[in-house]
Each structure stands twice: as structure tokens, then as C-alpha cells.
Structure 1
């Protein structure tokens, strides 16, 4: 196949653009904000679990407090009735003694419940404070997540804009190269291979394979518009004045 040296050299520029496009695509998939968001997700899940657990504890203690308060109210009402009956003096001696014993027992139980209620109130205060801390932590992490999402979206837009620009430039450049030449290049890239590489320092710029003297001599002897493929990787080997081919100093590019 024949193609002018200038056309072949354009493949190197095309390869650079393709490398930039690939690099941009990789950066789009590996935005640093995405990594931060992934790490933050774990923190958020833990914070939500802490908030849920603390709320359950608060509700459970509130239920216990309601039960104790109900017991105390009922006990105080019962004790008040017993004392009123005792003060009225209208019951038998035996009933009076029994009622006094009952009143004493109620007072002891009431004192125990009041002590229990005080301890419970201290526990409720500590649990409520812990719940407040958990909710404050969740709020802080949620705000951080919103900020990260906004920054991630901004970074993504910038990368997408660069990708669109590179793709547009790539299309324009590919259109300026011989269709058959760029077709070979694209087919190689489609198979995951390098499409073209500069011959330099006795190596193929695509696969980095060192070229033997016979191959170098053959390349040097070929017409400059001859399209030469690497025997190892199949890439188009582009020659320039910097390729260091045998006798190149005595030939024009």
C-alpha cells in the first residue's frame, strides 16, 4: 500500500489524540470524588445505623418511663386513699392495722420507684445526648456527601467537555487521512492493538520490539510513501528524520 509520508506521520498525531481520549475516558471512570463518595457511603451507613439504634434506645427508655410514671401515679392515688381511710377512723382495728402495713409497703415501693425513675432520667439524658450526637454526625456527613456530589458532577462535566472536544478533533483529523490508511489503523485499535508507532532507536514504536539489521535496511530502502507494517505486532511503522535508519543522514525525509 502507498500513502504519502505526510499522511503516515498524521497517524502519530492521531495516535496521540487516541491516547488522550483513552486517558480522559479512564479519568471519567476514576474521578477522585467518586472514590471519596464510596468511602463516605460506609461512614453514612454506620451513622444511619447509630441514629436508628439511638432512637430505639430513646423510645425504649421513654416507654419504661411512662410505665414507671403510671405505676407511681397509681401508687400515690392508692396511698392517698389509704391514708384518708386511716385518718377517717371508721374501720376496725384489724382492718386499720392491715391498711397501715399496706400504706408502709406502698411508701417503700414508691420510694424505690422514685429512685428508679431518677436513675432512668439520668439514663434518658445520656441516651438523648448520644442520639443528638449521632444525628449531628449524620447531618455533617450528609452535607459532606452533597458537597462531594456537586464537586463530582462539576469534575464530570469538565471531563466530558474535554472528551467531546478531543473526539471532535479526532474526527476531523481522521477525515484528513487517507481512508484506507486510517482503516488499517482503526482495525488494529479495534482489536486492542496499537495502530501506528514511530520507528526510533531501532525499535517499533508500537510494540517496542527491537528491529534486526536486515529489517532496518529493508525499511530504509523502502520508498517513503510505502506503508510498512511491523512483522511482530502488525502496526504501521511511521518513519521520520528522527528514526535513525541506516543511511538516513544521506537521504531527505
Structure 2
């Protein structure tokens, strides 16, 4: 392929823009905030599981306490009923039976109230555990929000640079021969780098130094010849810096 030396030189300008665009795209995908957000998301997921377990403990205790309160209320109602019957009088045998039942009910009420007190103490501990987990969840959510804000700020800056470079690229590519750009684009798509400066006997693409016949081939090529590296197949652009 033939192309004017100046067109080949401008190919380096196009490659410079494309390299910057690729770097910006890579930067957008590899911001440290992205890893931070993923890590915090995993932390939040684990904390949410922990919060659910803590909430289940509190709910179970609330249910058990409610059941005990119902039992205590039933005992109180039964005691009140027995006291009224006792106050109403009756046979000695009936009075003794009521006294015995009241003694049993008092003991039962005391046992139930002790159990309720123990459960309420457990609930206080469980509630504190739940509050502590919720506090960590809130803190993690705030860290995630902060990381997302910083990510979005950097994405906005990168988007501006991408737009600027993309706009600068269009006239560069349009000003070059179509066949040269087509070759360049094919190589760039395959290797990530379409053209590189040939400098001090070395390909700027693969960094391999040329010797003997390979170096002679490059030196002997016409100035408008598009020379490609035998190793990486990239276009080797010769300029005054090439030292040929």
C-alpha cells in the first residue's frame, strides 16, 4: 500500500487519540470506586442477612412475651373469680378448695412473671444487637452512597474527555486516505494498536529491534510505502525521528 509520508505521520496523531480513548474507557471500567462499591454491596448483603436473623430473634421473643402476658392475664382473671367466690362464703370444704387453688394460682403467676422478666431481659439484649446491626447497615449504606457519588463525578469527567477526544478524532480520520484508515482500523481492532513510530531500529508496537535484512527492508522502502512490522503486523511510521 502507498500513502504520502505526511499522511502516515498523521496516522500517529490518530493513534494517539485512539490510545487516549482506550485509556479513558479502561479507566471508566477500573475506577477504584467500582471495587469499593462492590465490596460494600457484599458487606450490606451480609449485614442484611444478619439484621434479618436479629429481627427474627426479637420477633420470636415478642411472641413468647405476648403469650406469657396472655397466660398471666388468664391467671389473674381466675384469681379474681376465686376471690369473689371466697368472699361470697360457702362450705368449709369449698373454702379450703378455693384457698388451695388461689395458692396454686399465685405460684403459677409468680413463675410466669419470672419467665416473662427473663424473656424481657433477653429481648433487651436482642434489641441492642438488632440496633447495632442496623447501625452498621446505615454506615455501610452511607459509604456506598459516598463511593457512588465519587464514581459518578469521575464518570462525568471521563465522559467529557471522551466526547472531546471523539470530536477531535473525526476530522483527523476524515483527512486521511480511506484505504490507509481501513488498514489501520483493522490492525487496531485485532491488536489494540494500529500504527507506531519506527525509532532507532525498533518497532514502536512490539518493541522488537530489527537487524540485517529486516532493517534493510525498512530503510530501502520508498517514503510513500506503508511498512508493516513482520512480527506484530502493525504499521511502522517512519519520520525524521526514525534515524534512517
Query: What TM-score, normalized by structure 2, do the two folds share?
Result: 0.91
| 1:45 aligned residue | 45
Structure 2 stretches lacking a partner, 5+ long: none
The residue correspondences of 1:106-121 to structure 2 (distance < 5 A) are 106-121=105-120
- CA offset at residue 187 of structure 1? 1.7
Local SS of the residue matching 2:202: coil
| 1:29 aligned residue | 29
| 1:248 aligned residue | none
The residue correspondences of 1:143-182 to structure 2 (distance < 5 A) are 143-182=142-181
- CA offset at residue 244 of structure 1? 3.0
Instruction: Encode CA deviations 1:76-130: one digit per residue, 9 max, x unaligned.
Output: 221222233334332x222222222211111111111111111111112122222
C-alpha contact (below 8 Å) 1:194/1:207 kept by paired residues: no
The residue correspondences of 1:71-86 to structure 2 (distance < 5 A) are 71-86=71-86
C-alpha separation between the residues in 1 aligned to 2:224 and 2:19? 25
Structure 1 stretches lacking a partner, 5+ long: 246-253
| 1:2 aligned residue | 2
The residue correspondences of 1:167-246 to structure 2 (distance < 5 A) are 167-192=166-191, 194-245=193-244
| 2:122 aligned residue | 123
C-alpha separation between the residues in 1 aligned to 2:234 and 2:70? 88
- Worse overlay, 11-20 or 231-240: 231-240
- CA offset at residue 211 of structure 1? 1.4
Instruction: Encode CA deviations 1:207-250: one digit per residue, 9 max, x unaligned.
Output: 223312222223223332222222233222111223233xxxxx
C-alpha separation between the residues in 2 aligned to 1:196 and 1:16? 9
Moved over 3 A (4+): none
- Worse overlay, 209-218 or 117-126: 209-218
C-alpha separation between the residues in 2 aligned to 1:25 and 1:221? 39
C-alpha separation between the residues in 1 aligned to 2:192 and 2:41? 38
| 2:58 aligned residue | 58
C-alpha separation between the residues in 2 aligned to 1:196 and 1:88? 111
Instruction: Encode CA deviations 1:115-159: one digit per residue, 9 max, x unaligned.
Output: 111111111212222222222222222233223222222211211
- CA offset at residue 24 of structure 1? 0.8
Local SS of the residue matching 1:209: coil
Local SS of the residue matching 1:198: strand
Give the superposed CA RMSD. Answer: 1.9
- CA offset at residue 44 of structure 1? 1.0
Local SS of the residue matching 1:197: strand
The residue correspondences of 1:95-106 to structure 2 (distance < 5 A) are 95-106=94-105
Instruction: Encode CA deviations 1:22-50: one digit per residue, 9 max, x unaligned.
Output: 11111111222221110011111122222
C-alpha separation between the residues in 1 aligned to 2:217 and 2:129? 80
C-alpha separation between the residues in 2 aligned to 1:58 and 1:240? 77
C-alpha separation between the residues in 2 aligned to 1:35 and 1:94? 81
C-alpha separation between the residues in 2 aligned to 1:137 and 1:229? 59
C-alpha separation between the residues in 2 aligned to 1:11 and 1:94? 116
